[in-house]
Copies of this chain bind each other. A is one copy, B any other.
Amino acid sequence: MRLKRKDILTIEDLDRDEIGLILSTAESFKEVSDREIKKVPTLRGRTIINLFYEASTRTRTSFEIAAKRMSADAINISASSSSVVKGETLKDTAKNLEAMNPDCIVLRHPSSGTPQILSRLLRCSVINAGDGAHEHPSQALLDLLTVKQRFGKINGLKVAIVGDIAHSRVARSNIYGFIKLGARVSVAGPPTMMPSGIDKMGCGVCYNVEDAILDADVIMMLRIQLERQNGCLFPTAREYSRLFGLDSKKLEKAKKDVVILHPGPINRGIEISSDVADGEYSLILNQVKNGVAVRMALFYLLLGGSRE
């Protein structure tokens, strides 16, 4: 079973059946990571390049572990050590890497749309591991898998996404994904963090977190990019936390079987309080665990397997 596409660039591109196939494939790969010998020979002799133009522990490590558990060879390239310092264009870097016959390039890049550019240039597969404020499809897929495992379905659920919607590739990918699978999505955040035209994506908009979580089955808290924040989007971290951060008091109004997601890394005490992040409703670590399975599934469905 393979996807009838070469690349995973966005959730917007994928249809319901493709997402379903990825999630069920990921489900079947989950047990590999629970084995003593966490490895299948499926992608032996394939070359996967992690080309990261932004720092990342979690995502790069998750893709690297996924590749190795599929028995592929994983090569890491980070911008700081790359030809980027020598002023080479992304196109040239990509064409040069392709000449070394990789099967897949996993790209993280600060500019939106770069995975699309690579996809058109290259014969090998491209997986978008986050491009600017555009999309982060493998994150949305692992979020969908996490929610589906808990509720047995996505259809009919109510999802609240809270935080800096305008600058979040995680939010965009999840809005597309949850709506495609039949959930209703509301987004909440301060007006400065709400993109214009967000309602055209098919989701509701709230300007306070209490309304958003009131009848939500899933609350997804986004990371506040403190390091990118320069005083424009909200007055202080404390102010943001008081109004939009999720703590146990705000959570009292939520449904009794609500689940809480966060793409990590979390800012404890800012967008989420420690007791909530570590509490009974939190699925944050399930998300990370599912990330490896989803990435194994993407490699499998794009690259196929020789003897499966």
Is the interface on chain A under 10, 10 to 19, 20 to 34, or 35 or more residues? Answer: 35 or more
| In the complex, per-residue mask of A66-92: 1 if CB is within 8 Å of any chain B CB, else 0 | 001100010101101111111111001
Q: Give Cα A55–Cα B73 distance, bound, in whole angstroms.
A: 22
Q: Are A100 and B65 in touch, CB under 8 angstroms?
A: yes
Main SS of chain A's interface residues?
mixed
Given contacts A45-B69, A47-B68, A88-B265, 17 further A-B contacts (CB under 8 A): A34-B101, A35-B45, A36-B45, A47-B65, A56-B81, A57-B82, A57-B96, A62-B100, A65-B73, A65-B102, A80-B81, A86-B265, A87-B226, A87-B227, A92-B265, A96-B285, A99-B288
The 10 closest A-B pairs by CB, nearest first: A37-B45, A39-B45, A88-B265, A99-B288, A57-B82, A33-B101, A68-B73, A57-B83, A99-B289, A99-B285
- Residues of chain B lying within 8 A (CB to CB) of residue A266: 88, 92
Residues in B with CB closer than 8 Å to A46 are: 36-38
User: Does A292 belong to the interface (CB within 8 Å)?
Assistant: yes
Minimum Cβ distance to chain B for residue A279 (Å): 14
Smallest Cβ-Cβ distance to A68: which chain B residue? B73
- Smallest distance from the beta carbon of A263 to chain B beta carbons, Å? 11
- In this assembly, does A264 line the interface, its C-beta being within 8 Å of a C-beta of chain B? yes
State which of B45, B82, B268 has its C-beta within 8 Å of the C-beta of A89.
B268
